[in-house]
Chain A
Amino acid sequence: MSSVDLQLNDDGQLKHFLSIEGLSKALLQEILDNAERFTTVGDRAIKKVPLLRGKTVVNLFFEPSTRTRSTFELAAKRLSADVMNINVAESATRKGESLADTLRTLEAMACDMFVVRHQNSGASFFIAQQVAPHIGVVNAGDGRHSHPTQAMLDMFSIRRHKPDFEALKVAIVGDVTHSRVARSEIQALRALGVPDIRVVGPKTLIPAGIESMGVSVFHKLEAGIADADVVIMLRLQEERMQSALLPSGNEYFKEFGLTERRLRHAAKDAIVMHPGPINRGVEIESAVADGPQSVILEQVTNGIAIRMAVMSMVMGTQVAANR
């Protein structure tokens, strides 16, 4: 089943949110517009809207996560949902329970939505195919495949600074091979009409065949970010050094670390983004991460609004389908 068939209902509305692939520009803009409306909720004295009152949302995390899990939790609570956090990495599957069984057990508790993070690419598709039809699934990151809410919050952050997607040059720098964020961002940028998308990184960390996703490939940082309006830095995992993909963190920083000096190659008013958590001195210099062009902390704040938008849209269709 294609990602479109799986996540949209017959009216073209979201029933799950698993991947950006195949979603229309209009739908992505709708998510951004809805998020815009939710940004003010956090500023109110009572930080709640009643859209998901009476609904139970399960944060089902098979991989450890702090910021994604907590922003999903906050988003669900601001929508007035009941939230249950399950850290499966430390519980059932350790005892040998299969993923399918874990899902069935949780379904039996009358949950309405699963927010899922899993270490295997495509796991969100599997889960969406397994759950009962009234349950909505939101992908909070599956393997190297997709992290669609992260991509949308990045689009949101970009739009706030650079409203015209069709005039942008965007560079994504770092470990693209292992990055679900990069894949989802490329798909979102493409769908929103960004004409110049580049991926930049050492050849071992750029997957063969990535050009087919509509990007150009650079192996030199200066050339890759030249005149870019947006520079998105990816996190470099420590374990990459063990699998012979890189010689050392030091060498990586020398070749691909974003410094103030290097950032001058980008457009003057370029913004710098990072999905976090940051490795200071590995992929980015502190002066840049904390500098005037950085929007990294804004990304986190925007994450709550985007997740509220996505959850309410997914649940909205689910409620309609049950009537």
Chain B
Amino acid sequence: MKLRIKRGRLVDPFNNIDEVRDVYIADRVIAGTGRSPSGFTADEEINAQGLVVCPGFVDLGARLREPGYEYKATLASELRAAAAGGFTSVCCTPDTDPVIDNDAVVESVLRRARSLRTVRLYCIGALTRNLDGQVLSEMGALRDAGCIAVSNVDSAVMDTHVLRQALTYAAGLEMTVFMHSEDPWLARQGVMHEGEISARLGLPGIPVAAEAIGLSRDLALIAESGVHAHIRGISSAPAVRLLRDARRQGLPVSSDVALANLCLSEENLIGYDPNYHLRPPLRAKADRRALTNALANSAIDAICADHQPHDKDAKSAPFSATESGASMFDTLLPKLLSLQSPSKLPLGQLIRAMTIGPAQILGLNAGHLSRNAPADVCIFDPDHEWLAHPDNFVSVGKNSPFLNEMMRGKAVITIVDGRVVYRADI
């Protein structure tokens, strides 16, 4: 199968390309861009005039809810939503039921994903058995079964001795560890950022110190163990500073920010809409600015959708009694585009944070459209307008903080492994 994507605006940050250029795909890989490779005759041509062609998005951790929480979402429903959102690789988190802490669960999840023949799925395994923070998981078996990284997700490992051993053991296996840094004691009862708005709403707050302390602790143990670690979901200005200082001292630690923390802040919680109940919490405007700046100057390496689809009941209660998290795959692209600013955050920098940025964190040959790279491509219409109505969501999770807003931008075609896995009917 040979495919030519013609006349699109090719944005490939890894190769420093942002211009109108054709893309050629042959035998599941990129055959070239620009001038036609010699002897290339396309079986199919895609006219991408007026559209943007970029590497498919790479996700760093989504709650896909299978196994165990199929009443919220399934691998089938959410990988379809991922494809419709322009993603070509998605990582699933281990906080399922049963927990992804042994090779049998990994194999069954990966087998199920392969049978769907859509977006590529990668498993993040549990760092500790059952995520209970007490006994190390069988990380070697997880790696051999296909786990790309290990993590305790947002169940903090309270015992620093266990955490130190887990990181050290992972370092020996050369496994990447994903960390959600937060001091569990300070965050224990909180449901939002502690500040002016929590004072007003009377909702228990999570102080910025919870993240700063959790991150300081984690950075100290990362440095000592020599593990390759990635910090998920940075939310505050002090955390940005801690990470920058750690990198200046030569610690090879990467980080990402959840898209919602770039788009929204604590003010959005006025009115108690549970769709703004997120972890890490939406923080102050100054934190949001610091995160945006860090992304602009590459102090933060990636943006994560932090996709967490929920059933209706999970969000149908007073704010504190609801579950945290937002369904993000459907609105990721338009909200990403809304962050564009020609001087500070050009399109290329945003796409970098969704493609080569996360791919390098995961050590994947993905997120770029170099010759012979896997043909994982996203083609999107930056100007298509649509309403973020639940009926227009592909994800079965309708818990979006952007519900009923007009969106500008939509994936039109998603190609995985040289094959079209999604085509919008617009």
Give chain A's interface residues, CB within 8 Å of chain B: 1-3, 6, 21, 98-100, 118, 120-123, 125-126, 142-146, 180, 183, 207-210, 212-213
B202 at the interface (CB under 8 A from A): yes
- Whether B200 and A122, one on each chain, are in contact in the complex, defined by CB atoms closer than 8 angstroms, is no
A-B contact pairs, 12 of them (CB 8 A): A21-B200, A99-B318, A99-B321, A121-B202, A121-B203, A122-B272, A144-B203, A145-B201, A207-B199, A208-B195, A208-B207, A209-B195
B316 at the interface (CB under 8 A from A): yes
- Whether A99 and B317, one on each chain, are in contact in the complex, defined by CB atoms closer than 8 angstroms, is yes
Q: Which residue of A lies closest to B202 (CB)?
A: A144
Q: Among A1, A118, A121, A180, which residue has the most Cβ atoms of chain B within 10 A? A: A121
Q: Which residue of A lies closest to B200 (CB)?
A: A213
Interface size on B, residues (CB 8 A): 24
> Given the complex, which residues of A lie within 8 Å of B317, measured CB to CB?
98-100, 120, 126
A143 CB contact (under 8 Å) in B194, B200, B320: B320
- Whether A121 and B318, one on each chain, are in contact in the complex, defined by CB atoms closer than 8 angstroms, is yes
Q: Which residue of B lies closest to A207 (CB)?
A: B199
- Whether B199 and A208, one on each chain, are in contact in the complex, defined by CB atoms closer than 8 angstroms, is yes
- Whether A212 and B201, one on each chain, are in contact in the complex, defined by CB atoms closer than 8 angstroms, is no
- Whether B201 and A100, one on each chain, are in contact in the complex, defined by CB atoms closer than 8 angstroms, is no
Q: Interface digits, B186-205 against A, CB 8 Å rule (1 contact, 0 not)?
A: 00000000111111111111
- Whether A209 and B199, one on each chain, are in contact in the complex, defined by CB atoms closer than 8 angstroms, is yes
How far is it, in angstroms, between the C-alpha of A144 and the C-alpha of B319 when the chains are bound?
12
How far is it, in angstroms, between the C-alpha of A123 and the C-alpha of B204 when the chains are bound?
14
> Given the complex, which residues of B lie within 8 Å of A2, measured CB to CB?
270-271
- Whether B313 and A98, one on each chain, are in contact in the complex, defined by CB atoms closer than 8 angstroms, is yes
Q: Which residue of A lies closest to B312 (CB)?
A: A100
- Whether A207 and B198, one on each chain, are in contact in the complex, defined by CB atoms closer than 8 angstroms, is yes
- Whether A120 and B320, one on each chain, are in contact in the complex, defined by CB atoms closer than 8 angstroms, is yes
How far is it, in angstroms, between the C-alpha of A228 and the C-alpha of B48 when the chains are bound?
72
Which residues of chain B from 303 to 327 have any CB-CB distance to chain A below 8 Å in the complex?
Answer: 313, 316-321
Known: A120-B318, A121-B320. A143 touches B270 (CB 8 A): no
- Whether B196 and A212, one on each chain, are in contact in the complex, defined by CB atoms closer than 8 angstroms, is yes
> Given the complex, which residues of A lie within 8 Å of B200, measured CB to CB?
21, 183, 209, 212-213
How far is it, in angstroms, between the C-alpha of A124 and the C-alpha of B91 when the chains are bound?
38
> Given the complex, which residues of B lie within 8 Å of A126, measured CB to CB?
272, 317-319
Question: In the complex, how many angstroms separate the beta carbon of A233 from the nearest chain B beta carbon?
Answer: 19
How far is it, in angstroms, between the C-alpha of A161 and the C-alpha of B200 when the chains are bound?
28
Q: Interface digits, B378-415 against A, CB 8 Å rule (1 contact, 0 not)?
A: 00000000000000000000000000000000000000
Q: Among A142, A146, A209, A213, which residue has the most Cβ atoms of chain B within 10 A? A: A209
- Whether B316 and A98, one on each chain, are in contact in the complex, defined by CB atoms closer than 8 angstroms, is yes
- Whether B199 and A210, one on each chain, are in contact in the complex, defined by CB atoms closer than 8 angstroms, is yes
Question: In the complex, how many angstroms separate the beta carbon of A65 from the nearest chain B beta carbon?
Answer: 17
Question: In the complex, how many angstroms separate the beta carbon of A204 from the nearest chain B beta carbon?
Answer: 13
How far is it, in angstroms, between the C-alpha of A126 and the C-alpha of B205 when the chains are bound?
20
Question: In the complex, how many angstroms separate the beta carbon of A160 from the nearest chain B beta carbon?
Answer: 28
B319 CB contact (under 8 Å) in A1, A122, A183, A209: A122
> Given the complex, which residues of B lie within 8 Å of A213, measured CB to CB?
199-200
Q: Which residue of A lies closest to B266 (CB)?
A: A209
- Whether B201 and A122, one on each chain, are in contact in the complex, defined by CB atoms closer than 8 angstroms, is yes
- Whether A1 and B203, one on each chain, are in contact in the complex, defined by CB atoms closer than 8 angstroms, is no
- Whether B199 and A122, one on each chain, are in contact in the complex, defined by CB atoms closer than 8 angstroms, is no
Question: In the complex, how many angstroms separate the beta carbon of B185 from the nearest chain A beta carbon?
Answer: 10
Q: Which residue of A lies closest to B270 (CB)?
A: A2
> Given the complex, which residues of A lie within 8 Å of B207, measured CB to CB?
208
Question: Which 9 residue pairs of A and B lie closest in terms of their CB atoms, listed nearest first?
Answer: A144-B202, A122-B272, A209-B196, A120-B318, A123-B318, A145-B202, A207-B199, A121-B202, A212-B196
> Given the complex, which residues of A lie within 8 Å of B196, measured CB to CB?
209, 212
- Whether B270 and A208, one on each chain, are in contact in the complex, defined by CB atoms closer than 8 angstroms, is no
Which residues of chain B from 276 to 293 have any CB-CB distance to chain A below 8 Å in the complex?
Answer: none
Known: A2-B270, A122-B318. A146 touches B195 (CB 8 A): no
B199 CB contact (under 8 Å) in A1, A6, A212: A212
Question: In the complex, how many angstroms separate the beta carbon of A216 from the nearest chain B beta carbon?
Answer: 14
Q: Which residue of B lies closest to A176 (CB)?
A: B199
Other than the given A120-B317, A126-B319, 11 more pairs (CB < 8 A) read A6-B271, A21-B200, A98-B316, A120-B319, A125-B318, A126-B317, A143-B318, A145-B202, A209-B195, A209-B196, A213-B200
Which residues of chain B from 178 to 225 have any CB-CB distance to chain A below 8 Å in the complex?
Answer: 194-205, 207
B318 CB contact (under 8 Å) in A1, A118, A180, A208: A118
A146 CB contact (under 8 Å) in B197, B202, B273, B318: B202
How far is it, in angstroms, between the C-alpha of A98 and the C-alpha of B316 when the chains are bound?
9
> Given the complex, which residues of B lie within 8 Å of A180, measured CB to CB?
202
